[in-house]
Amino acid sequence: MASRVMVRMAPALKGRRSPLTLTQAAIQRLKELQTNSAPEEQNKTLKIGIQGKGCSGNAYTLSWVDTPKKFDEKVTQD
């Protein structure tokens, strides 16, 4: 099973190199999390986003989603 990750990007940035590269350890852990989740959660895609900037820098979000939104970019890595 390939790990599916979505990253939301502005349209002007599309066509460039992949915005995200996961290590093999990260891919393995995501597969474990997905395999151990409830059956209805197993076909979802991991969405990674930036919530906003604060005093300590960016805050990142991780969530499992059914379908991508308009400006989400799909990155498949395995």
Note the pTM of the prediction, 2 decimals: 0.63
In a structure prediction context, what are the per-residue pLDDT tens digits for the chain, which is 78 residues long? 555 665 555 555 556 677 788 899 998 998 898 888 888 877 888 888 888 777 888 888 888 898 888 888 888 887
CA–CA gap between residue 59 and residue 33 (Å, rounded): 21
Identify each DSSP E strand in 1-78 by its residue range: 3-8, 45-54, 57-65, 72-77
Domain boundaries, the chain: 3-12+19-77
